[in-house]
Structure 1
Amino acid sequence: MSSIETRIRTTREHILEVAGKCGRSNEVKLLAVSKTKPVEMIREAWECGQRDFGENYVQESVDKIAELSDLEGIVWHFIGPIQSNKSRPVAENFDWVHSIDRLKIARRLSEQRPNNMTPLNICLQVNIDNESTKSGFTANEVLAAAKEIVALKGVKLRGLMAIPAPSEGHEQQRRPFKAIRALMDRLKIQFPEQQLDTLSMGTTGDMGAAIEEGATIVRIGTALFGARDYSKA
């Protein structure tokens, strides 16, 4: 058994264990964060049954998608910031975008999504801790932004994404995730006709707290592929 296969299996078992303790079954999806990782690693993870992969950098990811186009059932998620002048390749190549941090990007993706493709699944990025160094909607801006986005033709609002400020201690980690879940509940009440079913939150260090507070997608990189190679960033 390869190291990647072992890590994927161990991570999935941990996700199931935590979810099971919360009374949840197979509701949490593992998103393998493959940014800066070579296509050989992604192919190996796919051969181990992993289907969802997250990328941060537009040109790197577009090249990977083209090279791995033979992998049946692979689902590509863009999870990094999007510059306005790079929105078109994201609209044309991805299945999901988790990092919608302003209305301008949502509009551009909607306009640039090819007509022969299904609407692009998107999540609004919430700056839940109001950090000056992070982008995203504030909690008070989310409902108004969602109202505009649900009217766009080329995208489909599925939920929220958050990257809380680092914190130590399990209960401290849970607090921002709880706030995101409460915000999602408000969205569901305001837009009952929408398929709002996605909370993208939790990474290698805090996925347990995220799952306990309702995460449906956890974004895991280091635990699957090892430390990030910053020379390729």
Structure 2
Amino acid sequence: MIEQNLQRVNSRIQQACSAHQRPEGAVTLLAVSKTFDASAVRDAFAAGQRRFGENYVQEALDKIAALGDVRAQIEWHLIGPLQSNKTRPVADQFDWVHSVDRLKIAQRLSEQRPAQLPPLQVLLQVNTSGEDSKNGLSVADEAGLLALAREVSALPRLQLRGLMALPAPDTDDAGQRAAHHRLRTLFDRLVAAGLPLDTLSMGMSADLEAAIAEGSTLVRVGTAIFGGRPQA
């Protein structure tokens, strides 16, 4: 089932790219495996998927250990909130962090990233919907975002790649596109200010087409690949 689901999702990405004149390979698929066990990740790996996103640090660390035999072939992304007391294992074990929204977190990741590893790839999280329940910098604070981006880009052992957002759910295509457009606008302004960014992490199972239409370069898809989340 996972193999067929991956094929369907990749087909959706290709069709959306074609519909919006995006070049082949412009959008990367990140399989979001939170709450699914290591065997599901291994099934997706066997089907050709190499990039996986996790929300919870300890759950992810357990899967990384369970898949140690193929660690060199997997790119692990932390997409959930990151607390200061969890930065060391993240700096040591992950390849990407999507949820940086404070300089303190970035500084700790920079200080704790092992020298023998490549720079940790990071994204700044923006709260494009203004929800109190969501982390991220305010979409209205463009000056604050630019200042943080410049500070993070100057840190050693990190490479700032772009922005990430998790908009409020919206079943309307225009509403979906509007939320993604807000992030794309901020991204373009940061690039115009001289920051060499290349990654927009936006779009999930329900709205990946709208995200691709607005310039997403990385979509985070869980349900459409793994199915509904297991019940606690």
Give the TM-score normalised by structure 1. Answer: 0.95
- The alignment yields a C-alpha RMSD, in angstroms, of 1.0
Partner Cα separation in structure 2 for residue 191 and residue 221 of structure 1: 34
Q: Give the partner amino acid of 1:175.
A: A
Shift of 1:180: 0.7
**1:12 maps to which residue?**
10
Partner Cα separation in structure 2 for residue 131 and residue 186 of structure 1: 23
SS in 2 for 1:214: coil
Shift of 1:223: 0.5
Partner Cα separation in structure 2 for residue 87 and residue 191 of structure 1: 28
**1:115 maps to which residue?**
115
Unaligned stretches of 5+ residues in structure 2: none
Deviations 1:103-152 (A, max 9, x none): 11111111110011111000000011222121111132211110111110
Partner Cα separation in structure 1 for residue 152 and residue 231 of structure 2: 34
Partner Cα separation in structure 1 for residue 165 and residue 231 of structure 2: 23
How many residue pairs align between the two structures? Answer: 227
Q: Give the partner amino acid of 2:19.
A: K
**1:216 maps to which residue?**
217
**2:45 maps to which residue?**
46
Partner Cα separation in structure 2 for residue 67 and residue 168 of structure 1: 37
Deviations 1:8-45 (A, max 9, x none): 00110011001111111211111000111111111110
Partner Cα separation in structure 2 for residue 49 and residue 135 of structure 1: 32
**Percentage identity across paired residues of the two chains:** 52
Greater Cα offset, 72-81 or 89-98: 72-81
**1:66 maps to which residue?**
65
State how 1:97-112 maps to structure 2 within 5 Å: 97-112=97-112
SS in 1 for 2:69: coil
After the TM superposition, list the runs of 4 or more consecutive aligned residues in structure 1 that deviate by more than 4 angstroms.
none
State how 1:162-181 maps to structure 2 within 5 Å: 162-181=165-184
**2:54 maps to which residue?**
55
Shift of 1:168: 2.5
Unaligned stretches of 5+ residues in structure 1: none
Give the TM-score normalised by structure 2. Answer: 0.95
Partner Cα separation in structure 1 for residue 156 and residue 228 of structure 2: 39
